[in-house]
Amino acid sequence: SAHDSQIFIIGCGISGIGAAQKLLKHGFHNVHIIEATARSGGRIRTGNLGDNIVEIGANWIHGPSKENPVFRLACDYQLLDKESMSEENQAIEIGGHLLFVPNWFTSSGRKLGPETTGPVVEFFMNLLERSQQFHDSGGEPLPSVGEFVKAEAERLAPEEWKEDQGNTAIRMAMINTLLKRECCVSGTHTMDDVGLGAFGMYKTLPGLDCTFPGGYEGLIDHMMKELPNDIVLYNKPVKCIHWNYTKNGPDTKGMLFPIMIECVNGETFAADHVIVTVPLGYLKKHQNTLLSPSLPLQKLHSIQRMGFGTNNKIFLEFEQPFWDEDCELIYLVWEDETHLTDVVSDVKMSWIRKLIRFTVLKPTERYGHVLCGWIAGRESEYMETLSEFEVLHSVTQLLRLFTGNPTITPRKILRSQWFHDPYSCGSYTYVAKGCSEYDIDNLAEPLPLKGSNSKPLQVLFAGEATHRSFFSTVHGALLSGWREAERLVSHYTPASGSFSSKL
Ligand code: 6YU
C-alpha cells in the first residue's frame, strides 16, 4: 500500500520531528530521520552554566496561546508554569514587543531615567510599527527597514523635540542602540538588509512570551518519546540527495525508487520521498551540491536572496547584581555614536559595540545573578572566533565602562556560536531587501516542479525558513513539518479535495 513508501526526513530539529510524528499518525511506517549530529533538537538546545540551565538556541514561545501549536504541546506535556498557561497571559497582545523593565547605562557611566528613555523608545517603536504597515498598504518609500527608520528619525526628531534640542546627541545614540537591538530580533547584520515591504509578513500571535522552566529541550524529549526508538539515524550528515534517480534497484513490488540519499560516510539509502529540513544557512552554503540534479534556478535564486543571519547569546554569571532589583533588561548607549547606524566600522577592534542588550534571567531564586547578552551580525560572527577568555575580558571592560564600577567581574561565561555550527551556519531567517512571500513559497516548493512528468513529490522542503508568516520561530518550524507531512498524506488520499481540511 501507499503506506509502505520509504520516506526519509533530513534533519532532526522540530520540523523534522513534527513531520515524522504526523506521517506515523497517518499510518506511514517506513519513516526515518537522518541527522548530522549526535542529538535531536537542532536550534532548540538547552545547556548549562554552572548549576543553571540556559537556552543556547530558541528562548521563548512567541505568542503562547491556543493557536500556537508549540504552546499546545508544551501544555499537554505539562512543561510550563501556571502563570504562563493562565487565560490572562494568553490574552495579552504585545505585537512582538517585550514588556520588560529596563535599565539604561551610557558609555560615560551614567544611568538614564525613564523620562529620557521612554519617549525615545516610543518614537522608535512607532517607526517600527509604520515599517510593518507597508506590507499591506504597499508603496514602500525605501527598500529596507533600516533606511526607512533612519530617514524618518532624522526627519521627525527636530519637530518631536523642538523644545529640547540640547539632548539630540544622546537621543540619536539611543536610536542606534535600538537599531542594534532590532538586528538581534531579526537575526541580521544590519536593518538595512531587512526588506521594508516584507517586514509586515511576520505575524505575531496573542500571549505573553514565556520560557520553559525545565529547558526548551524538554519539549523535544517528550516529542521524541512518542516516536519509535530507532527512527533517527544519528551522526550521518547527508552529502547529496540524488533525485530523478534511475540507478536504484527495484523495491519488492518491482517499482523503482526515484531517490538515492548519499551520506558523507558513504552510506546510501533508497527512498520514495525526502523531506529536507536543513536550515536556510546550510542550504545557502551547500546549494550547489546538496541536490543532484542541482536545484532549479527559481529555488536557487530564492535561497540566495532570502536572509539568514547570526544572533548569539553571551551568558554571564555575577556574584552580585549591578542592576536594579526589578530590572529585566539592560541597554547600553555609546554616547559618541550620534550618527545613525547599526553596524560598527571596524569589526575586529570594535565588535563589542554591537553588544548593547542584556536580559536578566528570572526568577533570581532559580538563577542567581545571570545576564544574557545578545549580539547579532558580523560582529557576532567575529566574536565566535575569539576564545571564551577574550570574550570575557572584553565584556568585563565594557560593563566597567558603562557602570563606572571598576570592580565588576563576571565569574562565569558561556556563549553560543551559531555561525560556525556546520549544520546551522547562522541563527534564523529574515526576509531580505527585495524578497517577498514568493521567495518563501519558492523555498517550500517540492521537486520536481509542477509540469514535470517524472514521479511527483520526490523532494519536499520544511523548516523555519519555509513558513510564510512564522519564519524564524519554533512554531513556524513545527507547522512547516506538519504541512509537508500532510502534503504526502493528501498525495496518497485520492480525489479528496483540499488536503488540510480533512486532517
Ligand atoms: C522561537 C525563540 N530564539 C535564538 C537563537 C536561535 C534560534 N529561534 P533546526 O535547525 O532546528 O533543525 C535542522 C536539523 O538539520 C539540525 O538538527 C541539523 O543538525 C540538521 N542538519 C543540517 N544539515 C544536515 C545534513 N547535511 N544532514 C543531516 N542533517 C542535517 N524561535 O520560537 N523562539 O525565542 C527563538 C532563537 C539563538 C539560533 C532562535 C527562536 C528560532 C528557532 O530555534 C528555529 O526557528 C527552530 O528551532 C528551527 O527548527 P528547524 O527544524 O526548522 O531547524 C517583525 C519581524 C521580524 C521577524 N523576526 C522576529 C521574530 C523573532 C524570532 N526570533 C527568535 C529569537 C530567539 C531569541
pLDDT for the residue numbered 85: 95
Residue ranges in 187-262 assigned as alpha helix (H): 217-225
Report the nearest atom of ligand 1 relative to the CA of 18: 51
| Residue 249 and residue 224 share a domain | yes
Q: Edge-to-edge strands of the sheet including 459-461?
A: 232-233, 31-34, 7-10, 273-276, 459-461
Q: Is residue 424 part of a domain?
A: no
| Residue range 65-91: mean pLDDT, rounded | 96
List % helix, strand, coil for the chain (3-state, nearest 5).
Answer: 40, 20, 45
Answer with the residue of higher pLDDT: 498 or 87: 87
Q: What is the 3-state secondary structure (H, E, C) of 427-443?
A: CEEECECCCCHHHHHHH
| Residue 248 and residue 192 share a domain | no
pLDDT for the residue numbered 246: 84
| Residue 406 and residue 329 share a domain | yes
Q: Name 52's bridge partners.
A: 49
| Residue 229 and residue 108 share a domain | no
Q: Is residue 497 part of a domain?
A: no
Model confidence at 432, in pLDDT bands (50, 70, 90)? very high
| Residue range 7-26: mean pLDDT, rounded | 98
Cell of 208: 505573553
Using the mean position of ligand 1's atoms as its centre, give its distance from the Cα of residue 107 in Å: 33
Q: Is the pLDDT of residue 498 over 50?
A: no
| Residue 408 and residue 349 share a domain | yes
Q: Which residues constitute the domain of residue 441?
A: 2-44+215-307+434-491
Q: Is the pLDDT of residue 361 over 50?
A: yes
Q: Is residue 18 part of a domain?
A: yes
| Residue range 439-445: mean pLDDT, rounded | 98
C-alpha distance from residue 349 to each of 37, 253, 260, 331 (Å)? 34, 64, 48, 21
C-alpha dihedral sign at 203, 207, 209, 213? negative
Q: Is residue 90 part of a domain?
A: no
| Residue range 459-471: mean pLDDT, rounded | 98
Residue 69, class by beta-carbon neighbours within 10 Å (0-12 exposed, 13-18 middle, 19+ buried)?
middle
pLDDT tens digits, residue range 482-491? 999 999 999 9
| Residue range 140-146: mean pLDDT, rounded | 97
pLDDT for the residue numbered 501: 39
Q: Is residue 52 part of a domain?
A: no
| Residue 330 and residue 409 share a domain | yes
Q: Is residue 208 part of a domain?
A: no
| Residue 257 and residue 117 share a domain | no
Cell of 463: 523548516
pLDDT for the residue numbered 45: 98
DSSP label at residue 465? G
| Residue 10 and residue 151 share a domain | no
pLDDT for the residue numbered 98: 59
Model confidence at 494, in pLDDT bands (50, 70, 90)? confident
Model confidence at 347, in pLDDT bands (50, 70, 90)? very high
Model confidence at 499, in pLDDT bands (50, 70, 90)? very low
C-alpha distance from residue 346 to each of 242, 349, 352, 388, 451 (Å)? 43, 6, 10, 21, 50
Q: Is 274 left (phi over 0), alpha (psi -120 to 50) or beta?
A: beta
pLDDT tens digits, residue range 399-420? 999 999 999 999 999 999 999 9
Q: Is residue 170 part of a domain?
A: yes
In the predicted model, what is the mean pLDDT of the chain?
95
| Residue range 430-458: mean pLDDT, rounded | 96
Using the mean position of ligand 1's atoms as its centre, give its distance from the Cα of residue 426 in Å: 9
pLDDT for the residue numbered 137: 93
Q: Which of 261, 428, 430, 480 for mutating ligand 1's site (highest number of atoms within 8 Å of CB)?
A: 428
Q: Whose CA is nearest to atom 56 of ligand 1?
A: 186
| Residue 129 and residue 37 share a domain | no
C-alpha distance from residue 21 to each of 70, 116, 191, 484 (Å)? 14, 51, 37, 12
* Terminal-residue alpha carbon distance, the chain: 20
**How far does Cα 422 stand from its chain's mean position?**
16
Counting every residue, how long is the chain?
503
Within 6 Å (CB) of ligand 1, which residues are found?
10-16, 34-37, 42-44, 57-60, 62, 96, 185-186, 199, 202, 237-238, 277-279, 282, 311, 313, 416, 418, 423-424, 427-428, 430, 463-464, 472-474, 477
Q: Is residue 459 part of a domain?
A: yes
| Residue 194 and residue 323 share a domain | yes
pLDDT for the residue numbered 50: 92
Using the mean position of ligand 1's atoms as its centre, give its distance from the Cα of residue 57 in Å: 7
Q: Name 339's bridge partners.
A: none
Residue ranges in 196-260 assigned as alpha helix (H): 217-225
List Cβ neighbours of 136 (8 Å cut-off, separation of 6 or more): 200
Greatest distance between any 2 Cα atoms in the chain = 83
pLDDT for the residue numbered 2: 80
pLDDT for the residue numbered 100: 86
| Residue closest to 396 by CA, chosen among 367, 420, 373 | 373
Return the beta strands (E) in 311-395 as ranges.
311-318, 329-333, 357-360, 369-376
pLDDT tens digits, residue range 235-288? 999 999 999 998 877 776 777 899 999 999 999 999 999 999 999 999 999 999
CATH assignment of the domain containing 294: 3.50.50.60
Cell of 441: 513559497
pLDDT over 70 percentage in the chain: 97
| Residue closest to 424 by CA, chosen among 65, 56, 100 | 56
- Number of folded domains that form the chain: 2
